Chains A and B, each alone.
Chain A
Amino acid sequence: MSLPEILIIWPGSPVLSLIIEFVIAILLLYLARGPAHKAIYSLSTIIHSGLRLMARSVLLGEKRVVERNKEVLLATGAKAVERLIEREFYRVDAVVKRDMSGYPALQHKLGDQIARIDEDYRESTEVPVPSPDWVKAVDTLAKLPSKGDSWIANILGEIHKTAQAQYKNTMEEYRKAVSVRHSLLEKMMPYWRRLSQTLDQVDKTIIGLHERSKVIDSRMAEYEDIRNQSEKAVRMLTSSAMTQFFISALVLLIAIGGAVINFNLIALPMSEMVGGGSYIGNFKTSNIAALVIILVEVAMGLYLMESLRITHLFPVIGHMDDKMRIRMIWVTFTILLILAGVEAALAFMRDRIAADMQALRHALATVETAEPVSSWIPTVGQMVMGFILPFALTFVAIPLESFVQSSRTVFGSAVASLLRLIGFALRLLGNVVRYIGEFLVNVYDLLIFPPLWLENVIRNREQHTEVSDIIVNEEVS
């Protein structure tokens, strides 16, 4: 018996059967309306609550990640600013040591110069001896009229002569005094100049120190912002971390390009040393050996930069005492130098092998080919590259440190955003499920609308009858 036949309850009339089944179904659904509604509501509520709970957990997680990110960001920022301030203080210290240490001597020099100038000035201000007081009296007498008396005229003439001689003497002495004064003032000139230069030098130093103090002030303000965990500081540090992340990633990509070139430079000659046909796994031993050399160079570069305290990736190296650190600098530099020498030799060998291979290919080729241009330039170029690239790779440590530090913030932000998105999606889904529940209840009622309509009609009539009865009763009473 096939399925449609089961459904036919009125033999020979499938439509009638279907109508009867539909009516029965509606009646059953009407009877089960209350429990069905409850079931739909409970299911949607369960899912809704579950999803809301999940969303809440995710958002709590996101909050925790954001807080942790903020802590890390502020700690890193504070450390960086501390380093900057420390560096500024070192600079100030250097300036003070360099310039201020000579200040006692400078002060002594200035005192000497001022004393000399003072002395010269005093000497130059000494006025010439004034003419005696009687000169005026004599001069007055000499100018008296003789009134024709020759004796008096002679006396007056003598007095006049004396007065003239006295005037000449006085003028001469005065000129001499002025000349001495001028010479003294002239002698003062170099002292003034020297004094001016010394003061200029002091001024420059003071201005330099003033500028440094301004920088320190701004850094301190920044540091205070970070310590206060202000939003401004967080925004600034996040933006700075993002910029650092992209810039360092770009520089690392360039470094990877350099490493690839370096690899190609030494992979072929390495096969001459470790054998061209041996493999480790699916990789040629010569390729792995070349890669190991490059990685060792990068590692040595990291140690060198760490020992020079340019980077701070390994605290163990950073905490070493200076003697040990300097030893480490020399050891890593020597290893790098040796590796650079090895690479230059390998580059030379590569050129020879490539030339030999080229010659063999020409010999094997059936067609005539042009002779290769022989020149020492490619050989020297390859050797120089082989020597320089290990040292160039040393500087990978700087962008690597920036990348590692900034990636913590960037990935932290990305995780927080992802969690926020998941939380939002879960809440949205929870609400959608709740409304779907309500929608299903409405659909359910829509399916059984005939009995519901009847129920409403009967209920309205009953209410109407009850109201009429109450009114009649009231009228009777």
Chain B
Amino acid sequence: MLEGTDVKNSSTSLWSLRAGERCRIESFDDKLAERYRIRMMELGFHPGETVSCVQSPALGAPKVYRVSNTMFSLDDEVAAHIVVSLLPHE
């Protein structure tokens, strides 16, 4: 699991983002099966792409992320395995 890594230093997981935060996708970790990595890339979650967390509902519900002009809701099963680096606020 990538949760709990230091957000300020370098890479963290997409799941650790809070609403309003932006990041750049670095890679996918090994725990995410190849077919899901491909599907995520098909949906626009490419390494290098900027993603922002739009909603982070309470009680661990899936979060809402924005990629370009599309919003996706992901739960930790996927988002915890996408390695990202935080970007400064716009």
Real binding pair: no
Residues of B within 8 A of A (CB): none
